[in-house]
Amino acid sequence: MLDNNGNFILQSSHGTILWQSFDYPTDTLLPGMNLTITHKTHALKRLISWRSPQDPSPGNFSSGADPDEFRQRFIWNGSTPYLRGSIWNNNLVIGQYVESIKSTIYYRLLTIDDEVYASFGLPPPSVALVQMKIDYSGKIKTRVWNSNMSKWTDLWSGPNHECNKFGYCGPFGYCDNTQPIVTCKCLDGFEPNNKQDWTASRFSQGCHRMEAITCGQGDGFLNMSTMKIPSQFLYVKNRSLDECIAECTSNCSCTAFTYTNMSIDAINGDETRCLLWTRDLIDMEKLIGQGETLYIRVNGLSDKKRKSIVLKITLPVVSSLLIVICVWLV
């Protein structure tokens, strides 16, 4: 049976599904398909690119969840990370309204029989036909069927710049998408490891701190909004915001943290998402109209020239955590 959603099903005379094409997504994800992103009892699933526009045999690129952390998604070129998606900051993400299809597109995490799946679709009563596809060049695309032209057209595709590729800006560097010319920058309080390379648009060596952290002696957290937060994080389960701040503050190796209350359909019994970083900050971007707030550890009290919002943390000996928000102006 070929279902209306595109699923090709082989079933017994009693209606039991013996095989279905939705379990084998090849290079395309359709609404109604559930992509396995954990591997407790089932194998992880990936979208696999074609080898070329004319050759549908498996190509070099694949897309799916990080095997070690389902909250982040990658595109791989062979076994090498090529592009990393934003980390899930809610179990239901609703995109912006798309005029051409008169609808929004939602992305969702859901649990079925102790396994976590990712899916996407359009809320009713939308009847537009959409798909997500990885092409032979490694681009991931969201496409809509144009009935007037009888072909698929792209709503979005990426990566759009070299700067968007995984780790392009090196440690403690980030890709700034808010400027007319998209390029790499160092975080505030950091400078390029190799200024000559940086000037020549070779950014892979990244940045380093201009001033070493003095843990517990006036350090604070620099607030950077609308960020694609880094890779290689430590997920601390079941923490409130205050507890998440305390986790980072009490660990002198903690370089940054972020916190979100997932709020909808808790996954693995946890509605919170406290993430800490204890190593170099890799693969960050400054985004337009989306992203998260990343708190980066800095020697806050020693730099009074920076126009920033700094979260100053004090841990009293006996009393509970005191949080003071200070706005420093020139």
150 and 19 in a common domain: yes
Domain count, the chain: 2
**Angle (CA) 73 251 175, round 5°:** 40
Structure tokens at 185: 């920058």
Who wins on pLDDT, 203 or 108?
203
Q: What is the mean pLDDT of residues 159-182?
A: 94
Phi, psi of 173 (to 5 degrees): -105, 155
Last residue of a domain, one of 131, 158, 185: 158
Report the CATH number at residue 147. 2.90.10
Domain encompassing residue 39: 9-158
Last residue of a domain, one of 123, 158, 193: 158
Who wins on pLDDT, 301 or 55?
55
Q: How far is CA 206 from CA 41, 80, 116, 160, 238, in A?
A: 40, 19, 35, 21, 33
* pLDDT of res. 327: 25
* pLDDT of res. 147: 86
pTM of the prediction?
0.83
Structure tokens at 86: 């934003």
The answer to whether residue 325 scores a pLDDT higher than 70 is no
148 and 172 in a common domain: no
Specify the range with the lowest mean pLDDT, choosing from 87-91, 148-152, 171-175, 276-280.
87-91
Pure H helices in 107-266: 195-199, 241-249
The answer to whether residue 319 scores a pLDDT higher than 60 is no
Task: Name the region of 113 (left: φ>0; alpha: ψ -120 to 50; beta: rest).
Answer: left
215 and 121 in a common domain: no
Share the mean pLDDT of the chain: 85
How many Cα atoms occupy the beta-carbon half-sphere of 81 within 13 Å?
18
Among 43-47, 271-275, 279-283, 305-309, the range with the most confident prediction by mean pLDDT is 279-283
Cα gap 158→244, rounded to integer Å: 33
Contact (Cβ atoms closer than 8 angstroms) between residue 65 and residue 118: yes
250 and 141 in a common domain: no
152 and 19 in a common domain: yes
Residue 323 lies in a domain: no
Structure tokens at 1: 């049976």
Using alpha carbons, select from 312, 301, 311, 294 the residue that is nearest to residue 187. 294
Residue 317 lies in a domain: no
213 and 177 in a common domain: yes
133 and 28 in a common domain: yes
96-153: pLDDT as tens digits: 788 888 888 888 888 888 888 899 988 888 878 999 999 999 999 999 998 888 999 9
Residue 232 lies in a domain: yes
Residue 310 lies in a domain: no
* pLDDT of res. 269: 57
Residue 312 lies in a domain: no
Residue 116 lies in a domain: yes
Per-residue pLDDT band at 10 (split at 50, 70, 90)? very high
Radius of gyration for the alpha carbons in the chain, expressed in angstroms and rounded: 22
111 and 33 in a common domain: yes
249 and 119 in a common domain: no
275 and 189 in a common domain: yes
Cα gap 284→72, rounded to integer Å: 13
Please list, in sequence order, all residues whose beta carbon lies within 8 angstroms of the beta carbon of residue 131, skipping any fewer than 6 positions away: 28, 29, 30, 142, 143, 152
Cα gap 182→179, rounded to integer Å: 6
Residue 324 lies in a domain: no
174 and 154 in a common domain: no
